[in-house]
Amino acid sequence: MKKIKLYTIFKDQNLSDALKKIHKNGKKCCFVVDKKYRLLGTLSDGDVRRRILNKSNIKKKVLKFCNKKPTYLSQSNYTMLQVKKLFSSYDNIEIIPVVNKEKVIKKVLIKNKIFSLKEKYKIKKQKIKRINTKVVIMAGGRGTRLDPITKILPKPLVPIKKKSCNRTYYGKIY
């Protein structure tokens, strides 16, 4: 229950309290609940910011401004595959409540704990084809930062570690 309290705010609390709760949990959202922890809605930091920009009083109750049709999962029938699909289809959802038949929050699923770093940043190993090109020097512009060297030599011929590309002719490598 301690973990659930981090993500919940009671319906009679105000927007100022919601901002503090959202800042504390770090998940950009909190769940609006009644005294029995029944899910009534969600309130995101974006919802609160919009109310402030519309000059709403931050002392107004959160129930007035929350999303009353929140996304949630039923405790009796959800799979981890469904959870992963749900998190993958909505980039802005960081947490999802799991509720029982009476809509009491029993568990909070957190996106970055569901997806391990390996799964989140899955990179397929690919073979890298080698190219026999030794060096390509991008040498556009007038070369004013390399003055006085570029008064004598064009930028592609400026020595790097005592070597210069001697096969350059008008920007083409031969």
Is residue 92 domain-shared with residue 150, that is, in the same domain?
no
For residues 130 and 133, what is the distance between their CA atoms, to the nearest angstrom?
A: 9
User: Which tokens sit at 116?
Assistant: 């391990």
- Regarding pTM above 0.85, the answer is no
**122 lies in a domain?**
no
In this predicted structure, the answer to whether residue 102 has a pLDDT above a threshold of 60 is: yes
Is residue 80 domain-shared with residue 110, that is, in the same domain?
yes
Is residue 97 domain-shared with residue 156, that is, in the same domain?
no
Structural domain including 40 reads 2-117
**174 lies in a domain?**
no
- In sequence order, the 6+-apart residues with CB closer than 8 A to the CB of 59 are 14, 15, 16
Helix, strand or coil for residue 146? helix
pLDDT tens digits for range 135-159: 766 767 777 777 887 787 777 777 7
Among residues 76, 96, 117, which one ends one of the domains? Answer: 117
16 contacts 58 by C-beta, under 8 angstroms: yes
39 contacts 11 by C-beta, under 8 angstroms: no
**155 lies in a domain?**
yes
Q: Of 94 and 174, which is predicted with more confidence? A: 94
Is residue 47 domain-shared with residue 27, that is, in the same domain?
yes
The residues that bridge with 43 in the sheet, in sequence order, are 30
pLDDT tens digits for range 105-121: 999 998 888 876 455 44
Place of tokens 């973990």: 3
